[in-house]
Amino acid sequence: MIYLDNSATTEPDPQVLETYVKASNRYFANPSSLHRLGNEAEDLLESARSQIKGLLGYGRIIFTSGGTEANNLAIRGAAHANQEKGRHIISCKTEHPSVLEPLKQLEKEGFEITLLSVDRKGAIDLADLQQALRVDTILVSLMQVNNEIGTIHPLADIRRMLNNHRALFHVDAVQGAGKLLLSEQEMPDLLTVSAHKFHGLKNSGVLAVHKAELEPILFGGGQEGGLRSGTVSVPNAAALAKALRLATPNPDHLEWNAELRSFFAGYKDIYIVSPSSAAPHILAVAIAGMRGETLVGALQQEGVIVSTSSACSSKNKQASHVIEAIGLPREYRDGTIRISFGAMTTHEDISELKKRFHKAHQLIKGVEQS
């Protein structure tokens, strides 16, 4: 099997699994307990936290159940903590549902939400962002890398724009962490990371915080400094730190992306959706007059796993909100597939993908024409 759906999730690294199993066996105690075993678990938890602080460059790390919870905490937590300063929030139409849905809830609570439009490349216009900023804007939330087409937002430019504004800057880095470096000039006040996107484990994420006031969205025992109640999973924390230490940008992704763009350009009925400046580990293409799920199924028959869009919306029959927002021509709108690389992708996988895609494409076109 050739697995090329790494933006949905990645295969756990064996070293990460080893860390998780060892920590589960030895440090199973509740890190909040006062006895010796609890203290040992707490020591490992704080060691993992310290490593993640150093790797991400943030002063505060809050462990969460994943990217969705971290995004909800960043957005709802920042909104409620700063509502005395203003009730206006800016984001973008192509954000992940874990950003858009909490924004919808805040709108019902009386917050004003501005969603920036994007062009065909999925890019915002910085002039639109500048114009949307108001005195009462308290938060700007934009993803680092779009999960469906790979568009990269200009974080350094946005950071620079917000340096002279009171609004907090939140970045959903779920698709970029471990694959793209984040420079000091790009660093937001709030950063979301999810472990299973870089060969870590599911149900494990962090919200990294730099001088931002937050209110909790979960209430209970007051763990994580009162911002995330619930017993922290020490094995998950240790495994996340391990996965983050192992994650590095892979220069082969750029080569494979270019190789596949050249390959798909040879088909008259294929449109390359991802812009040339997109993150190299994501390549979305669309086939005219064909449904994406038909091609996904045909490729699966050939032993290749890809997806139609994000895993969260891939079972929907309608075009995703990202495809709608970029205004893809109607003949391509239902035929988008996403190919995404991970650390375990090989040169042989890319060569085989091209052969098997050609076979699947010929088969489907033949069926359609019969």
Q: Distance from CA of residue 154 to its chain's centroid?
A: 16
Total of domains in the chain: 2
Residue 314: predicted pLDDT = 52
What would the mean pLDDT of 294-302 be, rounded to a whole number?
95
Neighbours of 257 (CB within 10 A): 22
The answer as to whether 78 is a domain residue is: yes
Q: Are strands 88-92 and 137-143 parallel, antiparallel or unpaired?
A: parallel
Phi first, then psi: what are they for 298, rounded to 5°? -65, -40
Which CATH number characterizes residue 37's domain?
A: 3.40.640.10
The string of pLDDT tens digits covering residues 92-125 is 999 999 999 999 999 999 999 999 999 999 999 9
Q: Which of 111, 115, 107, 177 is nearest to 142 (CA)?
A: 115
The string of pLDDT tens digits covering residues 204-252 is 999 999 989 999 999 999 999 999 999 999 999 999 999 999 999 999 9
Residues 6 or more apart whose CB falls under 8 angstroms from that of 365 comprise: none
- From residue 21, give the alpha-carbon distance in Å to each of 31, 194, 309: 17, 19, 33
**Domain boundaries, position 200:** 14-246
Residue at which a domain ends, from 246, 281, 300:
246
Residue 275: predicted pLDDT = 98
Residue at which a domain ends, from 185, 216, 246:
246
The string of pLDDT tens digits covering residues 153-181 is 999 999 999 999 999 999 999 999 999 99
Residue 11 DSSP one-character state: P
DSSP 116-163: E---TTSPPPHHHHHHH--TTEEEEEEESB-TTT-PBP-HHHHHHHHT
**pLDDT above 90: percentage of residues in the chain:** 93
Residue 211: predicted pLDDT = 85
Residue 313: predicted pLDDT = 54
Question: How far apart, in whole angstroms, are the C-alpha atoms of residue 56 and residue 210?
Answer: 11
The string of pLDDT tens digits covering residues 314-325 is 556 678 999 999
Q: What is the pTM of this model?
A: 0.95
The answer as to whether 1 is a domain residue is: no
* Active-site position among 293, 302, 312, 352: 312
Q: Which residues are bridge partners to 2 per DSSP? A: 304
**Where residue 370 falls among pLDDT bands split at 50, 70, 90?**
very low
The string of pLDDT tens digits covering residues 243-252 is 999 999 999 9
Catalytic residue status for 92: no
Identify whether residues 215 and 273 lie together within a single domain.
Answer: no
The answer as to whether 82 is a domain residue is: yes
For the record, the structure tokens of 277 come out as 């400046």
The answer as to whether 191 is a domain residue is: yes
Mean pLDDT across the chain: 95
Residue at which a domain ends, from 213, 231, 246:
246
Identify whether residues 130 and 262 lie together within a single domain.
Answer: no
